[in-house]
């Protein structure tokens, strides 16, 4: 009796398992209130709806599951089925990940979208070799120059104490003759308050979050580069899904990409308005400043393509033809 009952029970459990929900984990490094994370939450909800509840994605915001530098490896190794990374953070692994961090190569949302299209085939190929599928990307708001005094050309930045927080920002400082000082975001307000730095490059969102307007009154909207976040997926995990569920994931990803880029544009305008409300002047860069910064960009594109080799050159050429 017991024996038979056990077999029947096992059969039932097996049946239930066949209808079980697949559960995926998705780490991201940004807080839940960040627009990228809000967009991801919507993506996860769309996947659940689109798959009729067959696939449930749990979003782990604010680096709670894996720290930012660990996320790509976690997706690659299957500890997480999905994850979001900032592509430029991985430039040391492969130069092409840093294509959207080259200043003044793509200096508007439209240009950034074209650069993404040029970069995408190489990105997808490289990630595929690592067992990863690129699902979608979303650009951050563009980077401009925060500076204490008004500037009409790059010459006006000579000797200015310039915050460096990455190899690219340090190099820009060197090329314009500023004095690069390394300061992390957590120490930024303190560094401005004590005069350690008088200028830095970032987006309007960083300027607002760090209350830069309390110390620095000018923002030059150079739209120098628009770095992208990429949402990556473990290829094996995707291949294990049935066809309708796969289609639900891809559809939700395509929607998230379009929505995310639109959201980024909207947020950029909102942040610049908030800076103005708090007493900052948002300037359109002068023709001279634009030309000077373009020269800085040309030098840095040359340096980058030397490191990235023919593959990098091919991406830059494809982008310029678009």
Asked whether 216 and 229 are in contact (CB, 8 A), the reply is: no
For 112, the token pair is 């950034």
- The pLDDT of residue 168: 86
Tens digit of pLDDT for each residue in 50-61?
999 999 999 999
Q: What is the DSSP letter of 139?
A: E
- The pLDDT of residue 16: 45
| DSSP letters spanning 189-245 | HHHHHTTS-SEEEEEHHHHHHTTGGGT--EEE-------EEEEEEEHHHHHTS-HHH
Q: Is the pLDDT of residue 322 over 70?
A: yes
Q: Is the pLDDT of residue 275 over 50?
A: yes
Q: Is the pLDDT of residue 260 over 90?
A: yes
d(CA 224, CA 296): 11
Q: Which residues contact 229 (CB under 8 A, 6 or more apart)?
A: 36, 84, 85, 86, 87, 137, 138, 140
- The pLDDT of residue 15: 45
pLDDT band at 244 (very low <50, low <70, confident <90, very high): very high
d(CA 207, CA 200): 10
- The pLDDT of residue 4: 52
Q: Which domains does the chain have, with CATH numbers?
A: 22-321 (3.40.190.170)
Q: Is the pLDDT of residue 243 over 90?
A: yes
Instruction: Supply φ then ψ for residue 4, to 5 degrees.
Output: -65, -45
Closest Cα partner for 118 from 322, 305, 302? 322
For 65, the token pair is 């599951």
Asked whether 36 and 4 are in contact (CB, 8 A), the reply is: no
Asked whether 144 and 203 are in contact (CB, 8 A), the reply is: yes
- Mean pLDDT, residues 248-271: 97
For 153, the token pair is 């050309």
Instruction: Supply φ then ψ for residue 182, to 5 degrees.
Output: -80, 120
Q: What is the DSSP letter of 322?
A: -
- Mean pLDDT, residues 288-310: 95
Cα angle 116, 122, 124; round to 5: 85
| DSSP 3-state percent helix, strand, coil across the chain (nearest 5) | 55, 15, 25
Tens digit of pLDDT for each residue in 202-211?
999 889 988 9
Which residues on adjacent β-strands are paired with residue 59? Answer: 26
Strands 22-27 and 55-60: parallel
Q: Is the pLDDT of residue 270 over 90?
A: yes
For 236, the token pair is 């094996």
- Mean pLDDT, residues 3-17: 49
d(CA 9, CA 93): 51
Share of the chain above pLDDT 90, in %: 84
- The pLDDT of residue 14: 47
- Mean pLDDT, residues 85-114: 93
pLDDT band at 17 (very low <50, low <70, confident <90, very high): very low
- Total length of the chain: 322
For 91, the token pair is 């430039």
Cα angle 220, 221, 223; round to 5: 135
Output the pTM of the full model.
0.86
Q: What is the DSSP letter of 187?
A: G
What is the CB-side half-sphere exposure of residue 195 using CA atoms within 13 A?
0
């Amino acid at each position: 009796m017991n024996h038979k009952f056990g077999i029947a029970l096992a059969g039932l459990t097996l049946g239930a398992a066949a209808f079980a929900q697949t559960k995926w984990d998705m780490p991201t490094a940004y807080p839940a209130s960040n627009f990228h994370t809000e967009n991801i939450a919507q993506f996860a909800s769309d996947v659940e709806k689109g798959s009729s509840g067959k696939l449930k994605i749990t979003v782990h915001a604010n680096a709670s599951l894996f720290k930012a530098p660990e996320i790509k490896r976690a997706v690659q190794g299957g500890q997480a089925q999905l994850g979001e990374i900032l592509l430029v953070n991985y430039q040391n692994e492969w130069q092409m990940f840093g294509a959207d961090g080259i200043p003044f190569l793509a200096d508007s949302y439209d240009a950034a979208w074209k650069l993404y299209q040029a970069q995408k085939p190489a990105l997808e190929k490289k990630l595929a070799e690592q067992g990863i599928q690129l699902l979608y990307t979303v650009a951050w708001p563009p980077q401009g120059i925060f500076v204490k005094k008004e500037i009409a050309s790059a010459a006006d930045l000579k000797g200015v104490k310039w915050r460096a927080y990455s190899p690219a920002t340090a190099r820009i400082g060197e090329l314009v003759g500023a004095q690069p000082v390394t300061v992390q975001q957590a120490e930024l307000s303190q560094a401005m308050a004590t005069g350690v730095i008088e200028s830095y490059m970032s987006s309007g969102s960083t300027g607002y979050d760090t209350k830069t307007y309390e110390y620095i009154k000018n923002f030059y909207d150079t739209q120098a580069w628009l770095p992208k976040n990429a949402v990556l997926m473990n290829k094996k995990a995707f291949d294990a899904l049935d066809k309708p569920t796969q289609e639900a994931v891809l559809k939700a990803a395509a929607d998230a990409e379009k929505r995310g880029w639109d959201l980024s544009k909207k947020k950029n305008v909102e942040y610049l308005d908030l800076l103005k409300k708090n007493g900052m002047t948002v300037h359109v860069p002068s023709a001279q400043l634009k030309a000077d910064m373009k020269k800085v960009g040309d030098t840095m594109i040359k340096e980058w393509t030397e490191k990235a080799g023919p593959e990098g050159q091919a991406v830059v050429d494809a982008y310029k033809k678009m």
